[in-house]
Chains A and B, each alone.
Chain A
Amino acid sequence: MSGDVLDERELPLLEVRDLRAGYGALEVLRGVELEVLPGELVAVLGPNGAGKTTLLRTISRTATTLRGGTIAFDGHDLARASTERTVRLGCLHVPEGRQLFTDLSVEDNLRLGAYSTDRRTIAADLASVYERFPRLADRHGQIAFSLSGGEQQMLAIGRALMAKPKLLMLDEPSTGLAPQIVEQIFTIVSELTRAGTAVLLVEQNAFLTLAHADRAYVMEGGAIALEGTAAELRADPRVQSIYLGGATD
């Protein structure tokens, strides 16, 4: 068979072209280009101040000033959309700091995650989240405030899952967590992608992330400095020099 090349190339779920954005007068993103295919685990790495968090905020349309470029999600233009619209389209952002509803219970937090979806399936969705995160099931009546750091991160991810996302954007989920918990989270994230949800993962912890991701981008100074498959970047010494400045001895 001649093999139609076009069939093998899926259309990107998220496509970002020449993105320029920042906060008021401050320009942070200077022409970022990336894409995420359905079901992929794509990592965004880079040192502090490179613009990783700003990138996610710009895609979810929270708090940034978009100056130029395009963001296409599932065929829709996000650049002029509201945050609520991005959620309804299936692009969910789990921010740094998790932003849980600290006064409400675990179950309430999860159920609210389904706010913008068809809530008739809420019971079934809740059950599947509990299956994925048994710790949350144990603590379903507890106030979110009282959970441990790792449990809070799981709750934040679970809440986003209740919205049945096509793309889950995670901002540094490993912050402040012990290594074993971080492992657990990465394992769950990998499972999610195998089940069909694409994940765009921003992280500082380069090695661990590259061990799980399919592809990765390394940002520096508001633009993409390196990109490639996880395997390629694991072997690339330039990654370390971007983080620590200058060539290694």
Chain B
Amino acid sequence: MIARLRADARLLPFLAAIVVVFGLFAAKSATLAQAGTYAAIYAIAAIGLSLLLGNVRQISIGQAGFFGIGAYAVAYCTAVAGWPFWPAAALGVALAAVVGLALGFVALRFTGHYLAMATLAFGLIAVGIFHEAQPLGGAVGISNVPYAQLGGLTLSGYPAYWFAWGVALLAALLTLNLLRGRTGRAFETIRNDELAAEMVGVQTRRYKIVAFAYAGALAGLAGAIYAAYLGIVVPDAVGVPLSIDFLLMVVLGGSGGVSGALIGAALIGFLDIAGHQFENWREVAYGVLVVGVVIGAPGGLVSLLRRAPKSPPRDARLSALAVSRDRRIEAPGDGPPLDVRGVTKRFGGLLALDDVSFVLERGRLTSLIGPNGAGKTTLFNAICGVGRLTGGVVWIGGRQATGWPSHRIAALGVGRTFQNARLFGEMTVLENVTAGTFRTERGSFAADLLGLPATRRAERAALERARATLAELGLEPIAHTYAKDLPFGDRRRVELARAVAAEPWLLLVDEPAAGLNGHERGTLHEDLLRLRDAGTTLLLIEHDMRLVMTLSDRVMVLKFGRMIADGTPAVVRSNPEVIAAYLGTGS
């Protein structure tokens, strides 16, 4: 499980205890019970936004729209159509989820402030529709919404407090399950580095859409309970101010995880009621707090509460698992692992790759060299599905892979490292390498949500694989260090470990020696040879000529996007065109 979330999960029982104690006090005071109930309702929506903002880094100022969908669904179905609460609420949640999927799909096109505005627009359109739709009561809304009934019990007043918090804590538990499993890890990789996430096989588009739908569904659930509690739904109550309130709760409490959402919702919920006379001062205080939190404590209040461990305690079992995997890696089929034909890539007026063709032999280490700007990384990007080719085809493992998204190519069995070591900074080394096994794991959203045994087994298997990889590369001592705290030499090796954790049969390595000292280069040399000897086909971009010449079975030279030489190291080194490419010619 992600280390950050461990602290979150530990806080949850405490918060639950506080909810219970408060509930007992609130038996005597209707005001307290009411404040507490609203806090629970907001908390449900806040949990969803916390996941969206904190775990997937998608900003949304439109959550009130989903809240409104849930609220109006219950209000209409129960007050106007006479349904009981439960099916009405289910409909509301389902509707909200579907709309969430749609918004998520739209949101794929935007980032940053554009995304904020797109979600704002959604929220405004939702309110506008609520305001105008006559069946929904127009500006007056729907009133006389009956209380929810559970068995013979009417869920109003004091019982409603327990009902709402029961749902909120259940939502928190389910969300934690989700975040602890494969889905949560996928979110975390997207949050840290989308490109690298794609390259370990995470379908980033799909997961972002799912996150929006989940957050929408939770907000819809909150709205459903709200409608049956308050008894009346008006458009003004589900407008932009509510969306901003949710954002406030999540920013103040802390996003990513569930405790922050609960804390933030409780805080805002109470301050809203308690500070009623001081409305202006209160809101100004919120504004100042938000700015202060962004500047000083970006993790929110919950980050101040957590004794956020920089490096969590070492897992004693780890060292006993220094198992070296003795296996042979085989590319599928009997064709070449990589067959590139006539690949051309144009960036506007610039021809970055010019009709590049080559075929890699199984189990060989080929180096790709060339002066700066020759197109080497562009070629890697072309093979791995980053950006579209202008022309040519790429065959990987016998499959025509031109135009495939990166995660699909990764799923075939291709691994890749990047020029600047794109690690998932806020995950530990072990978590990074576990993320590397993503494409080999099977899992589903539902299984993760419910915390089914199958999910736990899959998690353990992934963890074992990751640990074995760490052992092979001698990285166990730093297994629990956060990737962003790693010294440079270790970053590259962790990235390599992540790329090989899923045992790819084709591995593309981009400048692995950059920034390494002599000793580290020696280790790198050994690691690469070991991979090759196990059967991996390697394609290496490198500038360290000594490494290239001693390590490679074959060397290809790229200049201005064209292949100008291809052969053994000795042949290439003495090729006059290659010499000229590097040293230039005399005037």
Interface residues of A (CB under 8 A from B): 25-28, 47-49, 172, 175-176, 183, 186, 204-209, 211-212, 239-240, 243-246, 248-249
Contacts and interface: CB of A to CB of B under 8 A. Distances in A.
Interface string B567-587: 000100110001100111111
Interface stretch (B139-147, B381-389, B451-459, B541-549): B541-549
B488 A207 contact: no
Nearest to A28: B515
A26 B511 CA distance: 15
Contacts of A25: 486-488, 491
Given A27-B488, A245-B548, A207 B373 contact: no
Given A211-B586, A244-B582, A204 B545 contact: no
B573 A244 contact: yes
Contact of B549 (A47, A49, A208, A245): A245
Interface hub of B488, B511, B548 (most chain A Cβ within 10 A): B488
B514 interface: yes
Contact of B584 (A49, A208, A245, A246): A208
Nearest to A53: B372
Given A27-B488, A249-B573, A207 B586 contact: yes
B544 to A, nearest CB: 7
B501 to A, nearest CB: 23
13 contacts: A25-B486, A26-B488, A47-B543, A49-B513, A204-B372, A208-B586, A208-B587, A240-B583, A244-B549, A245-B547, A245-B549, A246-B546, A246-B549
Nearest to A241: B545
Given A207-B586, A208-B584, 15 more contacts: A25-B488, A27-B488, A27-B515, A28-B515, A47-B582, A49-B513, A49-B543, A172-B372, A186-B587, A207-B584, A211-B587, A240-B583, A243-B583, A246-B546, A248-B573
A204 B573 contact: no
Contacts of A47: 543, 545, 582
B138 interface: no
Nearest to B421: A26
Contacts of B513: 49
Contacts of A240: 579, 583
A47 B514 CA distance: 12
Nearest to B511: A49
Given A183-B587, A246-B573, A176 B373 contact: yes
Interface of B: 371-373, 486-488, 491, 511, 513-515, 543-549, 570, 573-574, 578-579, 582-587
A192 B511 CA distance: 37
Query: What does DSSP make chain B's interface, helix, strand, loop or mixed?
Result: loop
Given A26-B488, A47-B543, A175-B373, A244 B579 contact: yes
B108 to A, nearest CB: 29
The 6 A-B residue pairs with the shortest CB-CB distance in the complex, in nearest-first order: A245-B545, A205-B584, A48-B543, A26-B488, A206-B583, A245-B546
Contacts of A172: 372
Nearest to A211: B587
Contacts of B573: 244-246, 248-249
Given A244-B573, A246-B573, A204 B585 contact: no
A207 B372 contact: no
Given A248-B574, A249-B574, A48 B371 contact: yes
Nearest to A24: B488
Contacts of B585: 207-208
Contacts of B491: 25
| Max count, chain A CB within 10 A of own CB: residue among B491, B578, B582 | B582
A208 B491 CA distance: 37
A175 B371 CA distance: 10
A49 B514 CA distance: 7
Nearest to B491: A25
A116 B80 CA distance: 74
Contact of B371 (A204, A239, A248, A249): A204
A240 B545 CA distance: 11
A249 B582 CA distance: 17
B29 to A, nearest CB: 55
A209 B584 contact: yes
A153 to B, nearest CB: 14
Given A26-B488, A240-B579, A245-B573, A206 B546 contact: no
Contacts of A48: 371-372, 543
A97 B582 CA distance: 19
Contacts of A183: 587
Nearest to A206: B583
A63 to B, nearest CB: 14
A236 to B, nearest CB: 12
A239 B584 CA distance: 12
A27 B486 CA distance: 13
Contacts of B570: 249
A212 to B, nearest CB: 8
Contacts of B372: 48, 172, 175, 204
Contact of A239 (B543, B544, B548, B583): B583
A14 B302 CA distance: 52
A204 B584 contact: yes
Given A27-B488, A249-B570, A204 B515 contact: no
Given A205-B584, A243-B583, A244-B579, A26 B545 contact: no
A207 to B, nearest CB: 5
Contacts of A28: 515
Of A48, A186, A209, A249, chain B has the most CB atoms within 10 Å of the CB of A48
Contacts of A244: 545, 549, 573, 578-579, 582
A144 to B, nearest CB: 16
A245 to B, nearest CB: 3
A243 B487 CA distance: 28
Given A172-B372, A249-B573, A249-B574, A26 B515 contact: yes
Contacts of B587: 183, 186, 207-208, 211-212
A240 B570 CA distance: 14
A205 B486 CA distance: 35
Contacts of A207: 583-587
Nearest to B513: A49
A211 B486 CA distance: 44
Nearest to B584: A205
Contacts of A27: 488, 515
Contacts of B583: 205-207, 239-240, 243
B353 to A, nearest CB: 15
